[in-house]
Amino acid sequence: MSRDEMVYVAAQMYYLQDETMEAIARRLGVSRSTVSRLIQRARDTGLVHISLQPRTAGADALSRELQEAFGVRAHVVSVREGTAEMQRLEQVAQVAGRLVSSWVEPGTVLGLAWGTTTSAVVGHLTPRRAPGSAVVQLNGAANPVTSGIPYAGSIMTAAAEAYDARVHHFPVPAFFDYAETKAAMWRERSIQRVLAVQKRADIALFGVGALTGPLASHVYSAGYLDPAELADLRAGGVVGDVCTVLLREDGSYDDIALNERATGPTPRELRRLGRRVCVVAGTAKVSPLLGALRTGAVTDLVVDETTARAAIERLHGHHHSARPGWNPFDDAAVRLRSRDRGATPPEDA
């Protein structure tokens, strides 16, 4: 690790993760006095003001590889080995919460896709007044088993309270029973009003849902989909979702029938927004993370070091959850084009 990289990691752990100098010294294998000098250098060089700045020349190898492969600004969070999954999420959410707060200004529209990860991030937003700002819900929450609305509503309300912002709820189900019902609802003026606010979002904050894993994503464990639907998704190579829009590891999603009934913004729609912040913790989410990155829907990624390394290893290992008729050369083209920020993958052309 170069000295510039050590300066960044030390500042990140000290200012964003509230780690002690002793803990940082153990992580970097240096003395406490060296850590003090690294933190001082971070302040002297302007890397640290009130909040930690995004990595540039001092980015570590994982951050650089993610940026080169997908054109994202990657904030890789150092988490001690053996850390429990929930604690890992909390540390990543802490960094993400402070970063998002540093980007919110008066008049900012913040779009939130509800979920376990977003809920954790909202819990770490830094309270500040941002006059004229707004928080808008990006995906519906109701489901056939429980309403889901109080869960999503509490996330929106907490975020709005952090900035003294106006909140815009999205009173629709996560998935309609019929695509025709969604089409009809999308013509209603009350729904069009919320959709218009979504399109004006300056920042979109979301996680990725994993179809399988030790910490099941809320959309797959809380009655949003029935067993037959889940079985069909697995058979079709679906690995997870972004904003409850289902996708495969190769980044495809247009031909997944259930997406015609999903209420969240598609990756194509997300790409129209300026800053799209994806927060991920845990190696169970590597496959959906790669799928999300391949769609070009992400501009900023906050991820723990172990998950980032696993994603890079899987990327280099050429592992894919293939859809019927999938061509590895097509996927390579998506990956190459996604290196240019803002590029449109072939399936959206």
**Mean per-residue pLDDT pooled into runs of 10, the chain (349 residues):** 88 85 90 89 74 44 92 91 86 94 94 94 91 96 64 92 95 93 97 97 96 71 81 94 96 96 97 97 95 97 94 78 39 39 37
The whole-number pLDDT of residue 149 equals 61
Q: Write down the pTM of the prediction.
A: 0.75
For residue 322, CA distances in Å to 86, 237, 247, 331, 346 come to 30, 6, 11, 10, 16
Task: Specify the domain boundaries for CATH 1.10.10.60 within the chain.
Answer: 1-53
* Alpha-carbon dihedral sign for residues 231, 236, 240, 241: negative
- Determine the Cα–Cα distance for residues 27 and 15; give it in Å rounded to an integer: 15
CB 131 within 8 Å of CB 162: no
Report the top-level CATH class of 59-348.
alpha beta
Give ranges for CATH 3.40.50.1360 in the chain. Answer: 59-348
- Tell me, what's the pLDDT at 49? 62
pLDDT of residue 2: 87
pLDDT at residue 214, rounded to an integer: 64
Residue 215: its pLDDT value, please?
60
Amino acid identity for residue 296 in this structure = G
Position of tokens 């449109």? 344
Q: What pLDDT is recorded for position 19?
A: 85
Architecture in CATH of 1-53: Orthogonal Bundle (1.10)
